[in-house]
Amino acid sequence: MKFGDNLKQIRKNKKISQEELAEKLGVSRQSISKWETGENFPSMQNIMCLCDIFKCKINDLVHENFADIDSLDEEIKMSVVKFKKEKQKKMKMISKVIYVLSKIVRIVSEVGAGILLIVMIVVPFISKNIHVDGNVLKSNDTVIGNIRESEVSIVAEYLDHHTNTEIIIHVEIVLVGLIISLLLLRMISNYLYKLFKNNNECDTPFTMDNVYYIRKISFYVIIYMIVPYILGFILQLIIGIDLELELELIDIIFGIIIFSISYIFEYGYQIQLDSKGKIYGDDNA
C-alpha cells in the first residue's frame, strides 16, 4: 500500500477530515489532498507530525515494512531517507575542501617536525658563548633572534645563572615539545583527512570507520593539549622560572565534545542501517 493510501485510510479511521488535518498541520487542504493522491509528498517534519496526530508509527504511514527500503516509492525514499541532491553536493564539496586542507596540514607538520629535528642536532654547536646584545640574542657574532624589550632582562638573567650545558638541555626540551606537538598535529590532520575523504567517497557519512576516525581525532586533540603543558611544567621546575602555565578547562571541554561526536555518528550509523547503508542520494536524486 502506498503512502497516500495509508494516509487516507488512517485519517478516515481516526475520523478526521482533510480540513481538520490541514489545520492541525498548518498546511492547506489541497496539500493533504495531493499527499493522499500521490501527487505530492510531505516533508519529513510533516510525516513526524502526522505520526503524532494519529498516534501511529512511521511504518504505519510509509510502508508495512519500513526496513525494506527498496520496496518504497522512490519519492518517499527521497523524502524520508536520502539527502536532496543540492545538500549532497554541498556536503561532498565541503568534505573535499577539508580533506585537501588536512592533507596540506599533515605535510606541513611533517616538514616542520623534520626541520626542528635538524635544529636539535645543530643546537649544541650554535649555543656556545650565547649572550644578549641589546634586544638581540647572539652566539658569538651570529644573530640567533630578536628579543622583546619586556623579556630582555629575563633572558639575560637566565643566561647569567645557567651553564651552556643547562641551556642546551632546556632548549632541547622545548624543541622536543614542539616536535611532539607537530607529530600530534600530523596525526590529527591524518585522521581528519581519512574522515572527510570517506565522507566524500562513501554513500553515507555514518560508518564505523568514521566513528573510529573521530575517536582517534579526539584522543590526539586531548594529548595535543596536555603534552606541551606537561613538558612546560617540567621545564619550569628545571629552570626555576614561573612560565605562567595554565591548562585551560575549555581545551579539555573541546576534546570531550569531539569525542562525543563519535557517539552521534555511531547513533546515526545505527539509524541509517534501515536505508541499507545509504544516506546520500544518487546522481538522479
Taking residues 35-43, what's their average pLDDT?
Answer: 84
Examine the pLDDT at 79 and tell me if it is beyond 70: no
Q: What is the tens place of the pLDDT at every residue in 267-284?
A: 777 666 655 555 555 544
Q: What does the block give as the cell for 158?
A: 637566565
The whole model's pTM is what?
0.59
Distance (Å, whole) CA 182 – CA 219: 15
Going along the chain from its start, the domains and CATH numbers come out as 3-80 (1.10.260.40), 85-275 (no CATH)
Q: Could you tell me what percentage of the chain is helix, strand and coil, using 3-state DSSP and rounding each to the nearest 5?
A: 70, 5, 25
- What is the per-residue pLDDT across 185-235, written as a single tens digit (0 to 9) for each? 999 999 999 999 988 887 777 778 888 888 888 888 888 888 877 877 777
> Nearest-CA neighbor of 102 among 213, 262, 253?
213
Note the helical H segments in 127-248: 152-160, 164-201, 208-239
